[in-house]
């Protein structure tokens, strides 16, 4: 049976992040992708200039449409933006008994634009975090969700991850891409284990959509029946390679996207 993954997120007309990056990732990893669009953005490699939120009832209609027709094995949730969108998604996931939920708590764009309304942070923590199998905050997102300063080392990363576990999610993948040093270190924290995932930091400005790509890669691997640790290890390797190949693309004038189809380009 064809593995199917769903992304619930916002669009990026520049193709580097959001729904577009998620669908590219699903395709690159051999998974059929379906999507629910929660917001439209006007953005490119240089920043976000406008956001148009999709009405919650239409978000719900999209969720019902895909779940009623497709056997969805995993769900990635990205940028939602507003309380109404979060509520519609939470109800839809419950209504359809969604499984293997990967929540990327997108709050601020790499350009600095605010993507999650201040009054929506509480709703995200209350309604979606407990429904997820794993959440994937970067260092600034983990700090914002826990009310702490940005973690400066792995010990502080683990402390914040454990604070997030208290919200009801069984696993937290706290990402160290915003950190410093030769290695980019992520920590997967569950109740009983800590898994350290390290990769050599790639010197490039072309990292637009990295978080979207990682979370959708995890969902893709879960849709193909990988266990969580293996799914995250595979996803980390995929994203690292896509970043390493990002400079092969000559796209835009700012922070360019990853090279999602690096393997295919290398073979051609």
Residues marked active site are found at 175, 207, 209-212
Question: How far apart are alpha carbons 222 and 200 in whole angstroms?
Answer: 25
Question: How far apart are alpha carbons 164 and 85 in whole angstroms?
Answer: 22
List all residues 6 or more positions away from 191 whose beta carbon is below 8 Å from its beta carbon.
Answer: 165, 170
Tokens of 112: 């600095």
Question: How far apart are alpha carbons 118 and 235 in whole angstroms?
Answer: 30
List all residues 6 or more positions away from 186 whose beta carbon is below 8 Å from its beta carbon.
Answer: 173, 174, 175, 176, 177, 196, 197, 198, 232, 236
Question: How far apart are alpha carbons 133 and 171 in whole angstroms?
Answer: 6
Tokens 């970043």 found at? 243
Of 211, 210, 136, 216, nearest in space to 169 by CA: 136
């Amino acid at each position: 049976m064809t593995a199917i993954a769903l992304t619930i997120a916002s669009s990026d007309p520049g193709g580097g992040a959001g729904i577009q990056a998620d669908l590219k990732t699903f395709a690159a990893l051999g998974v059929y992708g379906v999507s629910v669009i929660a917001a439209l953005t006007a953005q490119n490699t240089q920043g976000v200039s406008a956001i148009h939120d999709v009405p919650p009832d239409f978000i719900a209609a999209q969720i019902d449409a895909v779940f009623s027709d497709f056997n969805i094995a995993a769900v990635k949730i990205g940028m939602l933006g507003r309380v109404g969108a979060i509520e519609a998604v939470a109800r839809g996931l419950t209504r359809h008994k969604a499984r293997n939920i990967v929540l990327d708590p997108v709050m601020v764009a790499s350009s600095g634009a605010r993507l999650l309304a201040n009054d929506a942070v509480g709703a995200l923590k209350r309604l979606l975090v407990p429904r997820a199998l794993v959440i994937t905050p970067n260092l600034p997102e983990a700090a914002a969700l826990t009310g702490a300063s940005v973690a400066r080392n792995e010990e502080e990363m683990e402390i914040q991850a454990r604070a997030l576990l208290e919200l009801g999610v069984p696993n937290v993948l706290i990402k160290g891409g915003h950190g410093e040093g030769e290695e980019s270190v992520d920590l997967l924290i569950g109740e009983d284990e800590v898994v350290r995932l390290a990769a050599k930091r790639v010197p490039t400005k072309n990292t637009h959509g990295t978080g979207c790509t990682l979370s959708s890669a995890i969902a893709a691997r879960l849709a193909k029946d990988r266990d969580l640790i293996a799914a995250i290890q595979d996803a980390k390797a995929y994203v690292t390679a896509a970043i390493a190949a990002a400079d092969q693309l000559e796209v835009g004038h700012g922070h360019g996207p990853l090279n999602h189809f690096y393997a295919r380009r290398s073979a051609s």
